[in-house]
Amino acid sequence: MTDPGSSDDDQAYFQAVEEVFVRYRGAPLLLSPADWQVARRWHRDGIPLELVRQVLDEVWAKRKERGAKGRISSLRYVAPAVEKAWARQRELTVTGERSAAAPLDVPARLRSLAAALSSALAAGGIHSGAAELAAEVTALEGPSPEVEERLAELDRALLERVWAGLPDDTRSEVQAAAERTLAALAGRVEPQELERSRERLRAQLVRQRLRLPVLSLFAPEAEAGESFAGAETSAEPTEKESG
């Protein structure tokens, strides 16, 4: 489901979009070839992943308000909203109306992400190496792009470690679920992509089963940490005044 003309950078963007989309969708899914073309267009146009996440959040929130039933199964459903938001952002940038984005509170986001990771692993009965992984997350330093790249590496290591620590029966259940999904997609997945697709589906199912956060500065669990830190900061003058 990839394109021979796609670069490694394209592939990384595709996978990140797929992971975010599946998280909101709440069920495993492999993007179709048409969806991969949508994602590649977004990447070539320079649409940041953060904007994609923001739009998906808005789309799902509106669906919830309407009481919409069923699941979204294609990026093409959300493509108009993503591209409209990107056009608006560029327009504001050109006209000088857009204010500079506030820098990310990287330490606060990492602390929140590590806490969510620890909770998910504990709830799933995964204790081996959990503390070390959480400590690695909170210890990351540097510019946000470098931290995000390192988080992606830790996320892959997390999924491998969790998979190795799952009981045999659980691994069998996950494998069977992945095979059922692949069977339903017969004819849409190129033979050379089959193994890679199987691994992606397995990772999605494991993450969903254990409610593991995506290790990213833009994951909801990470953003919640910065929001909480900001709320505490804004509340400090009031507390001092009342004392």
Q: If you average pLDDT over residues 189-205, what whole number do you get?
A: 74
The distance of Cα 96 from the centroid of its chain, to the nearest Å, equals: 30
150 vs 71 pLDDT, higher one: 150
Residues 6+ apart with CB under 8 A from 108: 225, 226, 228, 229
**pLDDT greater than 50 at residue 237:** no
**pLDDT greater than 50 at residue 236:** no
Q: If you average pLDDT over residues 169-186, what whole number do you get?
A: 83
**pLDDT greater than 60 at residue 2:** no
pLDDT of residue 189: 60
Q: If you average pLDDT over residues 27-54, what whole number do you get?
A: 82
Q: Given 3-state DSSP classes, what are the helix, strand and coil percentages for the chain, each rounded to the nearest 5? A: 75, 0, 25
pLDDT of residue 243: 39
pLDDT of residue 12: 67
pLDDT of residue 124: 81
Look up the pTM and report it.
Answer: 0.64
Average pLDDT over the chain reads: 78
Buried b (16+ CB within 10 A) or exposed e, 42-78: bbeeebebeebbebbeebbeeeeeeeeeeebeebeeb
**pLDDT greater than 70 at residue 202:** yes
**pLDDT greater than 90 at residue 140:** yes
In whole angstroms, how far apart are CA 30 and each of 2, 45, 189, 204? 11, 23, 9, 10
pLDDT digits (tens, 9 = 90+) for 55-104: 888 888 888 888 887 778 888 889 999 999 999 888 877 665 544 555 77
pLDDT of residue 235: 43
**pLDDT greater than 70 at residue 180:** yes
Tokens representing residue 134 in the block: 């959480």
